[in-house]
């Protein structure tokens, strides 16, 4: 009975519903109109918005909505208002996807299919109850759905394995079905990228999935982030862009490790890293092709650096076992080999939670944690750090430290990074991939020495003939006497590398390789050159092409060997090196006067004993007049054997060689001899000593 008093009687076998405008009070009263048939004289079966097949139950809600259990069509026809004649169609159907389908449990047994619509009932809240006879249940549709869909959970592969084609699934709580369902995704490393639309496909009731295979198109990624945008059957919308979901990238075979060194010399070592969190981290498993018979230092060596200001490295088997994300390693293989890292995944990061590395005070050996390049200045900016706090990274190739330092961290490479403060600093690696193009590298300062900003770099050649930047001196207007961003610290010594060292005892990392001072008209530097002793001459060289003809003078002084080199006139210096050689650099218009000794200096002759030749070096202080200088050799009887010099000299450094011959050019016998340096003039001194020819 309708609220307005109409009576509806389902006449199931005649496939119709009889309607009385008022409840009959006597027998034999004819119905006023019929639903489901064109007239009272037909009883055709039908499958349409106006036809029935065995309508078994009718109910009307308190607000006038009507539901008819169209039993044999396995459906419920719903009218938003009471129909007034047989031509009025139902507004929507339950139990079937449309008005022309009548399958049993269409789409499978679910909350939407019906098998034998046995009865309908509206309660006061306009919840609709349906007896689903053959499914042994009641289905309940609530009052009009005014609530948006709710995500019950996500089923997302973590990580997404490259090439797997796995889908992501969204599980919803939604009773009205969806009329629109899309996912929108983009790569984590491209937060400015437009989201890519991907349709959601219903795989089962309230389970919707979308294809993740688009990730496979790019290898250098961290994964994707996505959100969903759906509209249910009542027009309620859900859009989750404020709460994106994500997955990272996994590689079943890992990534290729290519940056370890190959060879047998210390100069063949190289720094590598692996931009994956590996499932099996043991280096023996990773390098199994090389280490299948165990760790053999004749075939393979692997080192890590614990961090700090020391020079101690940790070797595999002596404290080092695992290859870890974000760390770098020294490695050398005697033979070339193809190495895959094994199963691993990119770090689980997003824009709000990027990867971080804590740096201890001093040097740290790290690696790019992402499988794409990261610009160093972007790292500093994201970390809130300056180059004065954490110096730019340096790598190691062909037996040399990179100089200038790197402006970009590349995946797969290991880098030394120096925290020049006394506390821990945290590097933040921005997730956003910088696609603006490669930035310009750090350029050498080739200003004239007359400029307030200039630099001279000292180089030497390693055993492979490659230029190695040892360090340098220079000036900057805003530089300070101790460490600042213009200076460079020597990395932890590895193997027997040549290096120069400016000692700054006031700084907790006292070994400077580049010492830049505040701009001044006069300056002096002292440094020590260390390298493996060799029978060959060592050489330091520099580029003087940009010094400038009228610029202040600059001299390199070999304190160990009493040699003075005008660096504007010469661009190299060769010397005998026995392990440590001391140098000084003098700069300024009066540099030559500044470098002169305060008194006569005579260096101990070397080598002593000697076989082929011996050097006697002297230093004369500045004087108003010339000195008269005699350097001579005497035998044990006091007889003068050879005269190395006899003449006038100004203040300066001088070197004299004796080849073991007398003044006639004949070789003298082996034995003990004496040398004597006689100086007359503004000072009068004699210095003598013993030398041995063998």
- Residue 506's pLDDT is what? 96
Could you tell me which residue, 178 or 125, shows the higher pLDDT? 178
Give me the chain's average pLDDT, please: 91
- Residue 242's pLDDT is what? 92
CATH class of 7-141: mainly beta
pLDDT tens digits, residue range 335-351? 887 899 999 999 999 98
- Residue 289's pLDDT is what? 84
Rounded CA gap, 613 and 3, in Å? 128
Confidence of residue 219 (pLDDT cuts 50, 70, 90): low
- What does each C-alpha distance from 311 to 11, 115, 278, 307, 496 come to in angstroms? 98, 80, 28, 9, 12
- Residue 177's pLDDT is what? 76
- Residue 358's pLDDT is what? 98
Name the β-bridge partners of 55: 70
Could you tell me which residue, 688 or 652, shows the higher pLDDT? 688
DSSP state of 625: S
Rounded CA gap, 642 and 559, in Å? 26
User: Who contacts 127 (Cβ-Cβ below 8 Å, separation ≥6)?
Assistant: 140, 141, 142, 143
- Residue 459's pLDDT is what? 94
Confidence of residue 603 (pLDDT cuts 50, 70, 90): confident
Asked whether 118 and 12 are in contact (CB, 8 A), the reply is no
Could you tell me which residue, 421 or 464, shows the higher pLDDT? 421
Rounded CA gap, 646 and 611, in Å? 24
- Residue 636's pLDDT is what? 93
Portions of the chain given CATH number 2.120.10.30: 7-141
Query: Between β-strands 511-518 and 467-476, what pairing exists: parallel, antiparallel or unpaired?
Result: parallel
The per-residue b/e assignment along 367-385, b for 16 or more CB within 10 angstroms, e otherwise, is: bbbbbbebbbebbbebbeb
**CATH number, span 150-251:** 2.60.40.10
Is 3 a residue whose pLDDT tops 80? yes
Is 595 a residue whose pLDDT tops 90? no
Name the β-bridge partners of 555: 566, 586
- Residue 213's pLDDT is what? 85
**Among the listed ranges 208-222, 412-426, 671-685, which one has the minimum average pLDDT value?**
208-222
| 299-320 average pLDDT score | 95
Please give the backbone phi and psi of residue 266, each rounded to the nearest 5 degrees, phi first.
-65, -25
| 533-550 average pLDDT score | 90
- Residue 366's pLDDT is what? 98
- Residue 505's pLDDT is what? 95
Is 435 a residue whose pLDDT tops 80? no
Is 196 a residue whose pLDDT tops 80? yes
Confidence of residue 93 (pLDDT cuts 50, 70, 90): very high
Residue 461 burial class via C-beta count within 10 angstroms: exposed 0-12, middle 13-18, buried 19 and up:
middle
Portions of the chain given CATH number 2.60.40.10: 150-251
Please give the backbone phi and psi of residue 594, each rounded to the nearest 5 degrees, phi first.
-65, -30
Torsion of CA 80, 84, 86, 91, to 10 degrees: -10
- Residue 436's pLDDT is what? 64
CATH label, 601-693, candidates 1.20.1250.20, 3.40.50.11540, 2.60.40.4070, 2.60.40.290: 2.60.40.4070
Omega into 623 within 30° of 0, i.e. cis?
Answer: no
Omega into 21 within 30° of 0, i.e. cis?
Answer: no
Is 533 a residue whose pLDDT tops 90? no
Predicted structure pTM score: 0.74
Instruction: Give percent of the chain with pLDDT exceeding 70.
Output: 98
- Residue 576's pLDDT is what? 86
Is 12 a residue whose pLDDT tops 80? yes
| 452-461 average pLDDT score | 95
- Residue 440's pLDDT is what? 52
| 537-546 average pLDDT score | 95
A 10 A CB-CB count for 366 gives 22
pLDDT tens digits, residue range 61-73? 988 999 999 999 9
- Residue 437's pLDDT is what? 53
- Residue 662's pLDDT is what? 95
pLDDT tens digits, residue range 134-184? 999 999 887 777 789 999 999 999 999 988 888 999 999 886 778 899 999
Is 302 a residue whose pLDDT tops 60? yes
- Residue 185's pLDDT is what? 92
Confidence of residue 99 (pLDDT cuts 50, 70, 90): very high
Is 488 a residue whose pLDDT tops 90? yes
Portions of the chain given CATH number 2.60.40.4070: 601-693
Confidence of residue 616 (pLDDT cuts 50, 70, 90): very high
Confidence of residue 308 (pLDDT cuts 50, 70, 90): very high
- Residue 320's pLDDT is what? 96
Q: How far separated are the first and last CA of the chain, in Å rounded?
A: 134
- Residue 215's pLDDT is what? 83
| 201-210 average pLDDT score | 89
- Residue 681's pLDDT is what? 87
């Amino acid at each position: 009975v309708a609220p307005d008093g109409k009576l509806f009687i389902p006449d199931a076998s005649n496939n119709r519903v009889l309607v009385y405008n008022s409840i009959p009070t006597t027998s034999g009263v004819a119905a006023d109109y019929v639903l489901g048939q064109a007239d009272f004289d037909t009883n055709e079966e039908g499958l349409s918005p106006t036809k029935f097949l065995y309508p078994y139950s009718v109910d009307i809600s308190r607000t006038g909505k009507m539901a008819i259990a169209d039993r044999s069509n396995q459906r419920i026809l719903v009218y938003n208002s009471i129909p007034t004649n047989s031509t009025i169609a139902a507004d929507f159907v339950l139990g079937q996807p449309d008005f022309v389908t009548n399958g049993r449990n269409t789409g499978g047994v679910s909350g939407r299919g019906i098998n034998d619509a046995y009865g309908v009932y509206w309660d006061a809240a306009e919840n609709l109850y349906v007896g689903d006879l053959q499914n042994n249940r009641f289905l309940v549709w609530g009052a009009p759905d005014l609530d948006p869909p709710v995500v019950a959970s996500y089923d997302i592969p973590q990580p997404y394995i490259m090439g797997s084609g796995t889908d992501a699934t969204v599980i919803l709580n939604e009773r009205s079905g969806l009329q629109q369902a899309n996912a929108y995704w983009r790569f984590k490393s491209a937060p400015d990228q437009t989201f890519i639309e991907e349709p959601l496909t219903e795989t089962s009731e309230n389970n919707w999935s979308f294809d993740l295979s688009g990730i496979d198109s790019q290898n250098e990624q961290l994964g994707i982030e996505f959100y969903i945008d759906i509209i249910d059957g009542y027009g309620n919308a859900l859009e989750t862009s404020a709460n994106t979901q994500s997955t990272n990238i996994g590689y079943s075979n890992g990534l290729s490790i290519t940056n370890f060194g190959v060879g047998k010399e210390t100069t063949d070592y190289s720094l590598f890293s692996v931009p994956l969190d590996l499932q099996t981290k043991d280096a023996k498993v990773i390098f199994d092709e090389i280490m299948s018979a165990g760790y053999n230092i004749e075939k393979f060596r692997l080192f890590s650096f614990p961090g700090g200001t020391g020079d101690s490295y940790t070797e595999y088997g002596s404290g080092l076992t695992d290859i870890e994300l974000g760390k770098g390693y020294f490695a050398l293989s005697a033979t070339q080999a193809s190495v895959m890292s094994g199963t691993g995944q990119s770090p689980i990061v997003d824009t709000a939670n990027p990867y971080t590395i804590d740096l201890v005070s001093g040097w740290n050996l790290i690696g790019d944690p992402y499988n794409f390049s990261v610009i160093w200045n972007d790292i500093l900016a994201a970390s809130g750090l300056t180059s004065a706090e954490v110096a730019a990274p340096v790598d190691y190739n062909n037996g040399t430290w990179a100089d200038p330092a790197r402006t970009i961290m590349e995946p797969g490479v290991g880098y030394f990074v120096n925290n020049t403060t006394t506390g821990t600093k945290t590097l933040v690696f921005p997730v956003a991939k910088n696609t603006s193009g490669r930035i310009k590298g750090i350029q050498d300062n080739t200003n004239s020495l007359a400029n307030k900003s200039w630099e001279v770099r000292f180089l030497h050649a390693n055993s492979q003939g490659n230029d190695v930047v040892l360090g340098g001196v220079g000036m900057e207007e805003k530089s300070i006497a101790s460490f600042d961003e213009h200076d460079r610290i020597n990395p932890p010594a590895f193997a027997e590398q040549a290096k120069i060292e400016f000692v700054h005892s006031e700084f907790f990392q006292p070994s400077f390789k580049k010492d830049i001072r505040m701009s001044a008209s006069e300056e002096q530097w002292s440094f020590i050159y260390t390298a493996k002793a060799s029978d060959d001459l060592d050489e330091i060289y520099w580029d003087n092409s940009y010094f400038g003809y009228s610029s202040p003078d600059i001299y390199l002084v070999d304190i160990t060997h009493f040699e003075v080199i005008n660096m504007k006139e010469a661009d190299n210096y060769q010397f005998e090196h026995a392990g440590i050689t001391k140098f000084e650099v003098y700069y300024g218009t009066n540099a030559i006067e500044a470098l002169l000794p305060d008194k006569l200096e005579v260096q101990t002759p070397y080598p002593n004993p000697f076989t082929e030749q011996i050097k006697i070096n002297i230093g004369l202080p500045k004087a108003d007049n010339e000195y008269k200088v005699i350097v001579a050799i005497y035998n044990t009887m006091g007889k003068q054997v050879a005269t190395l010099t006899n003449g006038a000299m100004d203040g300066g450094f001088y070197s004299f060689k004796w080849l073991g011959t007398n003044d006639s050019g004949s070789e003298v016998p082996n034995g003990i001899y004496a040398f004597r340096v006689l100086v007359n003039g503004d000072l009068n001194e004699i210095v003598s000593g013993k030398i041995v020819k063998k």
